[in-house]
Structure 1
Amino acid sequence: MSSQDLESLDVEAIRQQFPILQREFDGQQVVYLDNAATTQTPDPVVNAMSDYYREYNANVHRGIHHLSQEASIAYEEAHDRVAEFINADGREEIVFTKNTTEAENLVAYSWGLNELEPGDEIVLTEMEHHASLVTWQQIGKRTGADVKYIQVDETGRLDMDHARELITDDTEIVSAVHVSNTLGTVNPAAELTEIAHEHDAFSFLDGAQAVPNRPVDVDAIDADFYAFSGHKMAGPTGIGVLYGKRELLEEMEPYLYGGGMIRKVTFEESTWGDLPWKFEPGTPPIAEAVGLHAAVDWLEEIGMDRVRTHEEALAAYAYDRLEAEDDVEIYGPEAGSDRGGLVSFNLEGVHAHDLTSIMNDHTIAVRAGDHCTQPLHDKLGVPASTRASFYVYNTREEVDELVAALEDARQLFA
């Protein structure tokens, strides 16, 4: 990536919409490089949620009064906006959850627990987030289905030859992370889905690290299910999205019950409401949906192609800077089109948690640990790694500060 790629965004103007990025600790301005965990929230999103609470705070789908009508329209329009953003076929295919994890569990319990049986196979990848791995692992234990894993090769990519061997006519679902939150690998989502469909299996893609920073078209991918979280895409916490093909969601039974998701209730039985409401019982995340709508508008105003270009350029720059350090080990593919906007690494002789603490002394926010991918770290042969992850408001200068801070760690642990 050239310097022009980064200059395609007015990063300084973007940064001005995030007051938190102006904060200082001990006279040092925050360098926020923990975006794979949670991105910061721009003023337009905060303002949209504040307007909801100040002007039309009411429960949805329950009242005839003006405020409830306004809130209901805003809530429904948020579904429409998200559907448009990922090219789904209408609001019926968009279920709001708390996060990606709940979306995974919704499919696992509503579909998996009812459809899987001994002899069936669930195919995951070795780079799965615990939200996917643990969930399907437990469903396998309950149903007797076997759980198998597509191998990660020495470059940090999926071994697609192994994928073709592993996915068979016994496979019922292939659940894969679209972009790895540890390796940064951008997996071939459409190809994985195509292989699954060749064997009459369903596909589920964890898009928590994909939707925030690249264009995603669920129709082009042909995914049966796709999930992501609002708080990783400049939106609020407490809201996630499950996309599901309409015909599949219509066939599935809900796994959470209560008010708002029913059509008719008697003392003997209940019937369910229309999509997507049958999967959204109780008072939903109304303010969060308003915020997510605003976040989608904000991202599309920037342009998702430009977001991707900016992140890939920053990741490539960070990769090159870190690779030039003889005592740094980087995990995942080399910089390029199949690496997302994050870099996980270790500094020789320094535990990731210690390095992160030293970074914090420089007011640099990074993350250390297994990043909810313990089995992957076991495969890599390391207990933890340090992860720097980028978003549209990050700069090359912040990467330079990250690399410069490594010298303090070297001196302390020499």
Structure 2
Amino acid sequence: MLPDLRDDFPLLARTVRNGRSLVYLDSGATAQKPRAVLEAEDAFYREHNGAVARGAHILAEEATEAFESARADVAELIGASSDEVVWTSGATAAINLVANGMLQASLGAGGAEAERFRLGPGDRIVVTELEHHANLIPWQQLAARTGAELAWIPVDDAGGLRYDEVEAVITPATRVVAFSHASNVTGAVTDVEAIVHRAREVGAITVLDGCQSVPHLPVNVAELGVDLMAFSGHKMLGPTGIGALWGRKEILDALPPSQFGGSAIRVVTMESTTWLEAPQRFEPGTQPVAQAVGMAAAARYLMDLGMENVARHEARIAQILREGAVEMPGVRLLGAVGDPAAIDVLGLAAVVVDGVHAHDVGQVLDDRGITVRVGHHCAQPLHRRLGVTGSTRASAHVYTTEDDAHAFIEALAAVREFFGVAA
């Protein structure tokens, strides 16, 4: 287990309902920020604020250096080169960047280099049934606009991916396979190798949603073998409004941009424009410099802790949350309990309480100072497949303690009695 890190996170010191101590268990939605992140962002604005790559004065130089140093730090966290990391406003924007770039290619942009991204009738896009909406809707839209077919790898009755269906779903017609590294509902970590292996057999591009893995697990993009990966800053202890797209350099340089403006260009005439190489070709307009600096501070904070240590810590929290839920009468855990030693499940538990709506469960917990997520967690198809409309999710991060996990289980045990539906 990690040491108690709550003193590093100022917000966790506040009290909430009726003076209760805050038990923050909504990190799967957004993580709290350590002082190192708050101070880094503040220091940039106080001491170095300037426009990136737009001036020869000292503040512009310092801002540009901070911006590119931040890129290098975030790249280091995932085992990448800095020229493979594109800044975006978040993971949703990163996935849309890829899907919209493929749409541009399908409309004829990018020339011969973009041929691999062009889609049309007869082509297939593959996702999974457990995707967050951010990694489903952009591909639905791309299929609708290009005439490609959208298919998906199904889940079983427990919400686990049907790996026995991978070969049948990822056909030779498949051009793109987009899937989550870890589910934000079941917490299960995906067997990336199994999907990447099949995608390579048919020559498909792989796009990984790393939102739930990068903040919690050791992630090395070279070892994963995917072509592109999206992840966000706010889930990994960083600021909101910042995220990143990692991609193999040769793929990024060939993908047409879909947003246009200054900073991304090489030559502009009244008739045409040529683009810079990646990552700059995807970063037009005013840059989120302070947010990038904050995201880099979060990356350094996590690297200082050691991602193996983070994963082991959260696996222990997962064990308490999930085993406590499984043993509770009238409570259904979505997904399997998992083996903490294997680190094959995130530190979260999504539950359904018999006879009680998820929002009502959340209200009871909130009255005790325990913050959780309620609803479908932007994963309606998965909840529908599991036969429920929503769930109550407790999710952990590096600052979550065993006492926090036990407090959730204790409060959850009182919910059915509170509403008069206990057996």
Q: Same fold (TM over 0.5)?
A: yes
2:378 aligns to what? 372
2:59 is aligned to 67
User: Deviation string for 1:123-162 (max 9, x for gaps)?
Assistant: 1000001001111011111111111110112333211110
1:144 corresponds in structure 2 to 147
Shift of 1:27: 1.5
In structure 2, how many angstroms separate the alpha carbons of the residues matched to 1:413 and 1:107? Answer: 47
Q: Verify: 1:260 aligned to 2:263, yes or no.
A: yes
Is 1:348 aligned with 2:339?
Answer: no
CA distance in 2, matches of 1:404, 1:318: 10
User: Given residue 355 of structure 2, which amino acid in structure 1 is its aligned partner?
Assistant: G
Corresponding residue of 1:124: 127
SS in structure 2 of the partner of residue 29 of structure 1: coil
Aligned position for 1:3: none
Deviations 1:371-395 (A, max 9, x none): 0000111101101000000011111
Q: Which residue of 2 aligns with 1:173?
A: 176
* Helix, strand or coil at the partner of 1:260: coil
* 3-state secondary structure, aligned to 1:345: strand
Judge conservation of contact 1:29–1:363 (CA < 8 Å) in 2: yes
CA contact (8 A) 1:257 1:281 kept: yes
Partner of 2:110: none
> Partners of 2:158 and 2:388 in 1: how far apart?
16
1:10 maps to what in 2?
3
Preserved contact between residue 79 and residue 91 of structure 1 (Cα < 8 Å): yes
In structure 2, C-alpha distance between the alignment counterparts of 1:111 and 1:189, rounded to whole Å: 23
The aligned amino acid for 2:169 is L
CA distance in 2, matches of 1:284, 1:111: 24
Q: Equivalences for 1:233-244 in 2 at 5 Å?
A: 233-244=236-247
Letter in 2 for 1:116: L
- Aligned-pair distance for 1:333? 2.1
Counterpart residue identity of residue 66, structure 2: A
Aligned length: 404
Shift of 1:112: 4.3
User: C-alpha distance in 1, partners of 2:345/2:140?
Assistant: 27
Q: CA deviation at 1:347?
A: 1.2
Q: Would you say 1:105 and 2:96 are equivalent positions? A: yes
CA contact (8 A) 2:159 2:386 kept: no
Q: Is the 8 A contact 2:40 2:293 kept in 1?
A: yes
- Residue 390 of structure 1 corresponds to 396
SS of 2:199's partner is: helix
CA pair 299-370 structure 1, distance change in 2 beyond 3 A: same
For 1:205, the equivalent position in structure 2 comes to: 208
The correspondence for 2:187, drawn from 184, 189, 192, is 184
Task: Find the residue that maps to 2:188 and give its secondary structure.
Answer: coil
Counterpart CA distance in 2 for 1:363 and 1:319 is 20
Report how far residue 189 of structure 1 moved.
1.3
What secondary structure, in the 3-state scheme, does the structure 1 residue paired with 2:50 have?
coil
Letter in 2 for 1:137: Q
* Alpha-carbon distance, 1:57 to partner: 0.5
Query: Separation in 2 of the partners of 1:393 and 1:332?
Result: 24
Whole-Å Cα distance in 1 between the matches of residues 243 and 120 of structure 2?
29
- Secondary structure at 2:164's aligned position in 1? helix
- Tell me if 1:270 matches 2:273: yes
- Choose which of 242, 247, 251 in structure 2 pairs with 1:248: 251
Q: Which residue identity is paired with 2:3?
A: D
Helix, strand or coil: the match of 1:301?
helix
Partners of 1:181 and 1:354 in 2: how far apart?
21
1:47 corresponding residue in structure 2: 39
**Cα distance in structure 2, aligned partners of 1:408 and 1:214:** 32
Once the two structures are TM-superposed, the CA of residue 183 in structure 1 deviates from its matched residue by 1.0
1:63 deviates by 0.7
In structure 2, C-alpha distance between the alignment counterparts of 1:189 and 1:233, rounded to whole Å: 21
Distance 2:354 2:293 in 1: 45
What is the rounded CA distance, in whole Å, between the counterparts of 1:380 and 1:368 in structure 2? 16
How far apart, CA to CA, are the structure 1 residues paired with 2:225 and 2:374? 34
Q: Secondary structure at the match of 2:287?
A: coil
Q: Which residue of 1 aligns with 2:109?
A: none
Deviation at 1:407, TM superposition (A): 4.2
Q: Do structure 1's residue 290 and structure 2's residue 282 form an aligned pair?
A: no
AA partner of residue 34 (structure 1): D
Mapped pair 1:305 → 2:308: yes
**Partners of 1:196 and 1:361 in 2: how far apart?**
48
| Contact 2:320–2:406 (CA under 8 A) maintained in structure 1 | no
CA distance in 2, matches of 1:270, 1:50: 37
Instruction: Please say if residues 157 and 386 of structure 2, whose CA atoms lie closer than 8 Å, have aligned partners that are also in contact.
Output: no
Query: In 2, Cα distance between the equivalents of 1:338 and 1:132?
Result: 21
Structure 2: how far apart are the matches of 1:408 and 1:335? 25
Cα deviations by residue, 1:183-230 (Å, 9 ceiling, x for unpaired) = 111001122112101110010000000000011011111111101000
Residue pairs, 1:329-348, within 5 angstroms = 329-336=332-339, 337-348=343-354
1: CA distance, partners of 2:200 / 2:59: 45
Greater Cα offset, 79-88 or 247-256: 79-88
CA distance 1:316–1:259, shift in 2 (3 Å): same
CA contact (8 A) 1:157 1:187 kept: no
Distance 2:346 2:409 in 1: 19
Letter in 2 for 1:83: A
Please name the residue that 2:112 is paired with.
Answer: none
Structure 2 counterpart of 1:309, one-letter code: R
Q: Which residue of 1 aligns with 2:113?
A: none
Q: Unpaired segments of 5 or more residues in structure 2?
A: 107-117
Q: Distance in 1 between matches of 2:358 and 2:406?
A: 19
Does the CA contact (< 8 Å) of 1:190 and 1:220 recur in 2? no
Give the distance between the partners of 2:19 and 2:242, measured in 1 at CA: 34
**Is the CA contact (8 Å cut-off) linking 1:179 and 1:209 kept in structure 2?**
yes
Distance 1:253 1:368 in 2: 38
Task: List per-residue Cα deviations over 1:314-359 (Å, max 9, x = no partner).
Answer: 0011111111111110001222232111110011111001100111
Please report how far the alpha carbon of residue 276 of structure 1 lies from its aligned counterpart in structure 2 after TM superposition: 0.7
Does structure 2 conserve the Cα–Cα contact (< 8 Å) formed by 1:120 and 1:171? yes
The 3-state SS of whatever aligns with 1:24 is coil
